[in-house]
């Protein structure tokens, strides 16, 4: 019995042309027994950052609360929203604080970061459970279906997808990967972020 697979669940984030997308399944289980089909693992951090927390469910809630606290403190002190790059390092250092008794979570982030010229550029990142950062340029995955997500994403993803095409790509990747994973599934939620809005959709998929 692996702690990382105790509750199940998976998250993926992808980069597109001036947009990013992040998706997760909605299952909460105790090993093979399904408990909930509406367990959110992705949380908005600011208007332009979404954070996915697959792994041990108790730590999903604990970390969500911890990041909300730390981001609020940052916002009050700095009088501005935290940037995705900065937030990624906050995630990393928060996890590394527990280097020898870790939170059993592998976070995935997606956001739009400000450029010096005043525009926005897509940003994704992921870390392992002790905060080792991975700034990928294409896509990042985590959770019990990670190997399946890698396989499908590597086959479907291409550079510079428009928001609607990115939505289709990430949705198909998620749906087909979780259908081959016993610990993930029971519904999928997708967020597609552009510079001025976020579109959230809950997908109709297999519920077995």
- Residue with Cβ nearer another protein (39 or 50): 39
To the nearest whole angstrom, how small is the minimum distance from the Cβ of residue 101 to another protein? 7
Question: Sign of the C-alpha dihedral, residues 93, 82, 65, 30?
Answer: negative
Binding site for another protein (CB under 8 A): 7, 28, 30, 33-36, 38-39, 56-58, 61-62, 65, 101, 147-148, 150-152, 154-156, 172, 175-177, 179-180, 205
- Residue with Cβ nearer another protein (101 or 116): 101
To the nearest whole angstrom, how small is the minimum distance from the Cβ of residue 48 to another protein? 26
- SS3 of 71, please? helix
The rounded distance, in Å, linking the Cα atoms of 172 and 77 is: 41
The rounded distance, in Å, linking the Cα atoms of 122 and 192 is: 11
**Using an 8 Å Cβ cutoff, are 95 and 107 in contact?**
yes
The rounded distance, in Å, linking the Cα atoms of 72 and 65 is: 11
To the nearest whole angstrom, how small is the minimum distance from the Cβ of residue 197 to another protein? 26
- Residue with Cβ nearer another protein (98 or 114): 98
To the nearest whole angstrom, how small is the minimum distance from the Cβ of residue 40 to another protein? 9
């Amino acid at each position: 019995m692996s702690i990382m697979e105790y509750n199940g669940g998976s998250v993926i984030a992808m980069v597109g042309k001036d947009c990013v997308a992040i998706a997760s399944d909605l299952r909460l289980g105790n090993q093979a027994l399904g408990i909930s089909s509406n367990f959110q693992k992705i949380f908005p951090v600011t208007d332009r950052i979404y954070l996915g927390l697959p792994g041990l469910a108790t730590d999903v809630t604990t970390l969500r609360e911890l990041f909300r606290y730390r981001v609020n403190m940052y916002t009050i002190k700095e009088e501005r929203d935290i940037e995705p790059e900065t937030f990624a390092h906050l995630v990393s250092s928060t996890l590394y604080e527990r280097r020898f008794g870790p939170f059993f979570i592998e976070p995935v982030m997606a956001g739009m970061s400000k450029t010096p010229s005043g525009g926005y550029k897509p940003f994704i990142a992921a870390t392992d459970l002790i905060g080792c950062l991975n700034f990928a340029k294409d896509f990042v995955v985590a959770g019990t279906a990670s190997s399946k997500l890698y396989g499908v994403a590597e086959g479907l993803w291409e550079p510079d997808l428009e928001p609607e095409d990115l939505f289709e790509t990430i949705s198909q990747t998620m749906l087909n990967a979780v259908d081959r994973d016993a610990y993930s599934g029971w519904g999928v939620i997708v967020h597609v972020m552009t510079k001025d809005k976020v579109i959230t959709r809950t997908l109709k998929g297999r519920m077995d």
